[in-house]
Amino acid sequence: MPKTEVILTHNIVGLGGESDQVKVAAGYARNFLFPQGLAIPLTQSNKRQLEVLRQRRAEREAHEYNTMSELAKSITKLTCLVKVKTGDDGKVFGSVTSGTIADELKHQFDISLDKKKIHLDHPIRTLGEHEIELRLHPEVKATLKVHVESTTPQPVPTHEATAAPAAGEKPVGPRTEKRGRRSDAKAEKVDKEAKPEAEAKPVGKAKRPEKTK
């Protein structure tokens, strides 16, 4: 496939930045780069534009660096919350990926970040707090706190402990029964004391002795 050399007028990921001279397939240049204004043929007349392109590239890269530096300062103060489903044993169903974190950053903080800049050694599969490295720029890195939380209700224990009586509250149970026994004993004592008095009381009216004339 024939190649042709071009001068890039815009940054193209995987190919180069403004003012870079690169070799590409002739058909790719003719059918895509040139019509889209992303590159120009490498000619003597076009070489005169190199200085302008280099200046524009330097300004773009400086702007990107400043923007990512400010973002790094802000993002280290944030905690990104990710909610997941878990089993009864607390095991996470699935995993949290860089794409998941990118979506939550957009949803929670309105931060648009390419998931390729979120560096994970492996997907997150455990609950709790995790520190994630962000590679925002070749010269700028940041650390983001990600808190993974379960949305699955935890099972309620089948055996509930007996609640202790609140302060100032009188306990119930055996003491109530004992109090009842004391009341019965007291009533019985009163009855016994009352019976002798009833037996000693004479039945009917006593006759008065007749006076002697």
Q: What is the pTM of this model?
A: 0.60
- What is the structure's pLDDT at 200? 47
Q: Report the alpha-carbon distance of residue 109 to residue 7 in Å, rounded.
A: 39
Q: Are residues 20 and 78 in the same domain?
A: no
Q: Is the pLDDT of residue 162 over 80?
A: no
For residues 149 and 160, which has the higher predicted lDDT (pLDDT)? Answer: 149
The fraction of the chain above a pLDDT of 70, given in percent, is 71
Q: What is the pLDDT of residue 149?
A: 93
DSSP code for 149: E
Identify whether 10 is part of a domain.
yes
Taking only the tens place, the pLDDT of each residue in 90-116 is 788 889 999 999 999 999 999 999 999
R_g of the chain, CA atoms, integer Å: 46
Which pLDDT does position 153 carry in this prediction?
77
The count of residues in the chain is: 213
The pLDDT of residue 44 is: 86
Whether 120 is covered by a domain: the verdict is: yes
What mean pLDDT, rounded, does the chain reach?
81
> What CATH number does the domain containing 7 carry?
3.40.5.10
Q: Which residue has the higher pLDDT, 20 or 183?
A: 20
Range of the domain at 7: 3-48
**pLDDT tier, 139 (very low <50, low <70, confident <90, very high otherwise):** very high
Segment 34-60, tens digit of pLDDT: 999 999 999 888 888 888 899 999 999
Number of compact structural domains in the chain: 2
pLDDT score recorded for residue 127: 93
As to burial, measured by CB atoms within 10 angstroms (0-12 exposed, 13-18 middle, 19+ buried), residue 9 is: buried
| Strand residue runs (E) in the chain | 3-8, 21-25, 39-41, 79-84, 118-119, 128-137, 140-150
Instruction: Return the bridge partners of 119, or none.
Output: 133
Separation CA 30–CA 38 (nearest Å): 11
Calculate mean pLDDT across residues 65-70: 96
Residue 127 exposed, middle or buried by CB count within 10 Å (0-12, 13-18, 19+): middle
pLDDT in tens, 171-190: 555 554 445 555 555 555 54
Distances (CA, A) of 43 to 6, 48, 209: 9, 9, 163
109 within domain boundaries: yes
Residue 188 lies in a domain: no
Q: Are residues 79 and 116 in the same domain?
A: yes
